[in-house]
Structure 1
């Protein structure tokens, strides 16, 4: 129970860090750009109010940045308390997904599709981890995650990759003209555990 509480607490803290950091990225309002009225219509009182508002926003941002540092320090302490199995449990928090034609692979690994094309996509989403020190994500990320998936008979096939700031993916596509009615996909033990599957072999059958 204690371990589950630690993992839940860490996941919550990561969410909070992401939200507060998003708030930090908002630029304080510039009083000069807001004064669109002619100078004759602007008063010293209005200018003072705007300056106070900017100062208030800057103070708020500084407070959020300090709070983020405290959260990050606490997160690092929690990570040090977790063993490998618990870190795997944490990495299941939406970081990795494996989909076939837009649907998650079921636990038994059997996928049936009726579409003319087969798209296998593995995705890594590190949105909640991007602001943390490297020492934290390295514990729970797979590294070169496309290497954790191999398609039998197509081992040398290069995936179509999409590289974003926080979301990256590798896609393997088989068109109708590929004459592929059945595919077998092998995944590593690490990816299997992260996805919560019961098997290392994913069987895709086109009806």
Structure 2
């Protein structure tokens, strides 16, 4: 079995987070914990921020790696929030860190492209036509940034509502906000955000 250096380095950073402030952890600390060389680290990650992004992508966003994740949006989002809850010890200090390549910025910017592709694919399949891209981009960006902003606040505020409630609220808001644009009519396939959750 091949050794997965990225996983080893990620595990080391997560373990170090249990005993040391994330912002104070250095690449040297990670290298000492793993035994990896300086070049070995930089062969896999540009810097600590890149490692933080990769952990978030690999450990928390697992259901949002492709457009055909299998489950409905609500179920995928609920799983996302459950994983975020499990990694709260890492995510909270990560979103509190500021800088050019910080996780907070990544979380605000990264979901838009996925959401846009998801909406385009659904629209073309169910509406049988190309969407008005300027309108679709605007509404998608609005909902992507709103969802990410609420998620960041939820993490910073120590997750005051359960993951299931966060997923339900965001899914319902997306259904209401994107209903007309995504052809939410009775003669079309089910809306990408499902029927209203109770």
Shorter-chain TM-score tier: 0.3 to 0.5
Pick the structure with more strand per residue: 1
TM-score (norm. length: structure 1): 0.36
| Bigger Rg, which one | 1
TM-score (norm. length: structure 2): 0.38
